[in-house]
Amino acid sequence: MAENASTTTTARRETFGGIVYRIYAFKGWVERARKRLRLFREVDVDVESNFRTALREDPEDEKENSGFLSFTIDEHGNAFYLWTCLVSLVALHPLVFTSLSVFQNVHSFLRTTGPINLLLDLINILDLIAHTRIEYVENGVAVKNLSKLMHHRLKSKFFILDVIAVIPTESLEVFGESFFWARINRLTKCYRLFNFSTQTDTRTTSPHAFGLFKLIFICMVIFHWNGCFYFHISKVYNYATARLEHWIFSYDKIINPILATCATDDIYDKNFCDTDDLLITHLPDNEVQSTVTSFMSTWDNKTETLKFANFFRQYALCFYWSALTLVTLGEQPSPCTTFQNAFEIGDTLLGLVIFAVIVGDVGNMVVAINLRKSEFENVLDGCKRFMVYRKVPHLLRNKAVEYFGYVWAHGGAQVDEEEIAEFLPPRLFGEIAVEIHMDTLKKVKLFENCDPRLLYELILKLQLRVYSPMDYICKKGEVGTEMYIVKEGFVEVVSEDGQTIFVTLPAGFVFGELSILNIPGNKNKNLRTASVRSKGYSDLYVLDKEDLWEALREYPQAKDSLIQKGIQILEKDKMIDPDMVDDDEGDFNGPIEDYIEHLNQEILKLTAMVDDAEKSIHASQQKMKNRLFGVEMELIEEMKKMKEGMGECEKEELKFWKKKRTNVCLL
């Protein structure tokens, strides 16, 4: 029994130890598997995961963002801009009415705005939620993951302002019945006005006018709050007992107007009232009081007082005082107490700053508006001085000045396309240019069904030119090196003497496209077949021949297609001669630099061929010399064998041949 018990205990211990061992072994296997998995991910085996990593997106983003409520907002879209406009109007409510609560007569109106305040608070809450769905850019890619968008918004400092703005301080009754303190937390939402201003600056076509509107709006808000604070000080000093000469608000400073109800301009009217005060001014002192009393009793029934509400009189005078003080015009009663004096000094200093900002901003706007015009006028003045210095005829001077006037009036001098092209990314400017010119190029028969990539390259190479009235764009017989697109104005196809007008080409017409293709067999040899001149001022887009062929070298198939289309067009007009063969020089199309490089390559090829021929000649000569030397040696050996049987004459001949052999060897 004891042995069986010990055996059972040992088995249990081994079983427990085995379980522990297996657990640790499994744990080690899991750790090693994690390391291998981590290494597997680091070596970029999974292409999809690497692609998502490069875009900073998680594989679960698509699943998480799938759903009706899983939307995101593009802050540069039109929908968010319209929403920003609405929220900006909501932000104006506390900006205006919070300070108006210092006027006692407004309280009855503010008590009726409870439902409106609830609606505005609801819009603020929706705006808080909407900001948690706004996309942001990270490493050049728009992030659309909802959890990341939420985390990004929570880290923003504006999130705290949004939360403060939606705290229901009115319902909590923390500040009692004070409308000012109950709604002051809504002012934190005013930062949305700056967002609206920034977005409008990028969208408006009149930035200077909008900048002036912003300046006026900011001044009005400052005048409004400063005037309300002035009335609050007047309440502290009991404005009800104030007189005209006091610094604080007084009703004596803004009395209700009194209007005469009788006729004051027609002496024959039965209701005529004499308003002449010369009688009063010339009366003795002891009669003035009685006369005034008599006049007052006379005017009691002949006047009407136009009464305004107390709130209107209070706010109008306070706003007027604030505007005069902040623009440093003064003309106000002097302060009576130390606090009033300190407030007046602070307001004056603030007014100096505001006045400086206003003058600076207005000056900057005026300079910005006139900057382009000033630069244009400087160029015009320089051109005038140049023409006077060079004694240009008066007719040409007037023509040049009229050209400057046309360019400025039609916006050519106000917008520099080359400057815009340098500022914008090439692809973006290309899209704009394609939007402008693509339809026009597709209407040309030569470019119908052409490769869009080639058309894109050609559009980027278009240059704008302006022609004055009666200027010749091209003349008959000239070598065609440019193609023209009429942007604005009219051009005329005329005879060589310019007296006969064959046809007038309107805007959108294209001509000169066949002369820049170097079509083989063209009877005109790329010469202009007609003269074209500008009827008035004309704007034309020009495509140079070198630019066309530079683009065609990248698209050889499109090149062959264009030439075939050109041949078909010329065949219809019977302008193709199959027997004509273009010169070798004419087969090359491109810039002169490329042509020179082409010639250099040909020269190098010819030089290599000459070198090879020279080496071959030298080798042939060497072989020939070796063969001659061998023949002579064989001859000498034969002569040695014949030496013994020779006489004196034969020996002299042998010496001659030896000498001859020596000369050959030297050669």
Q: Give pLDDT tens digits for 209-243.
A: 888 888 889 889 999 999 999 999 999 888 888 88
Angle CA(476)–CA(477)–CA(481) in degrees, nearest 5? 95
The two structure tokens encoding residue 305:
């007082």
Looking at residue 560, its pLDDT comes to 77
Flag whether pLDDT at 650 surpasses 50.
yes
Return the minimum-mean-pLDDT range out of 108-122, 344-358, 595-609. Answer: 595-609
Q: Are 231 and 102 in contact (CB under 8 A)?
A: yes
Return the minimum-mean-pLDDT range out of 180-184, 231-235, 517-521. Answer: 517-521
Looking at residue 172, its pLDDT comes to 66
Looking at residue 92, its pLDDT comes to 92
Instruction: Categorize the per-residue pLDDT at 19 as very low, low, confident or very high, splitting at 50, 70 and 90.
Output: low
Q: List, in order, residues 6 or more apart from 46 with CB less than 8 Å away.
A: 40
pTM comes to 0.58
Query: What's the CA gap between 600 and 610, in Å, rounded?
Result: 15
Looking at residue 582, its pLDDT comes to 47
pLDDT tens string 37-65: 565 455 444 444 444 444 444 444 444 45
Residue 249 or 275, more confident:
249
Q: What is the mean pLDDT of the chain?
A: 77
120: left (phi over 0), alpha (psi -120 to 50) or beta: alpha
Looking at residue 117, its pLDDT comes to 87
Flag whether pLDDT at 647 surpasses 60.
no
- The mean pLDDT of 547-575, rounded to a whole number, is 79
Q: Are strands 491-494 and 510-511 parallel, antiparallel or unpaired?
A: unpaired
Return the minimum-mean-pLDDT range out of 61-75, 350-364, 608-622. Answer: 61-75
Return the minimum-mean-pLDDT range out of 127-141, 145-159, 164-178, 472-486. Answer: 164-178
Return the minimum-mean-pLDDT range out of 30-34, 251-255, 270-274, 588-592. Answer: 588-592
Residue 173 or 477, more confident:
477
Looking at residue 281, its pLDDT comes to 59
Return the minimum-mean-pLDDT range out of 2-11, 181-190, 215-224, 225-234. Answer: 2-11
Instruction: Categorize the per-residue pLDDT at 126 as very low, low, confident or very high, splitting at 50, 70 and 90.
Output: very high
634: number of Cβ within 10 Å = 10
pLDDT tens string 376-406: 788 888 888 888 888 888 888 888 888 888 7
How far is residue 260 from each of residues 267, 307, 308, 309, 515, measured CA to CA in Å?
15, 14, 17, 21, 87
Query: What's the CA gap between 567 and 556, in Å, rounded?
Result: 17
Phi, psi of 531 (to 5 degrees): -100, 140
Query: What's the CA gap between 121 and 137, in Å, rounded?
Result: 30
pLDDT tens string 565-604: 777 777 777 777 666 544 444 445 555 666 677 778 888 8
- The mean pLDDT of 64-92, rounded to a whole number, is 81
Q: What percent of the chain has pLDDT over 70?
A: 75
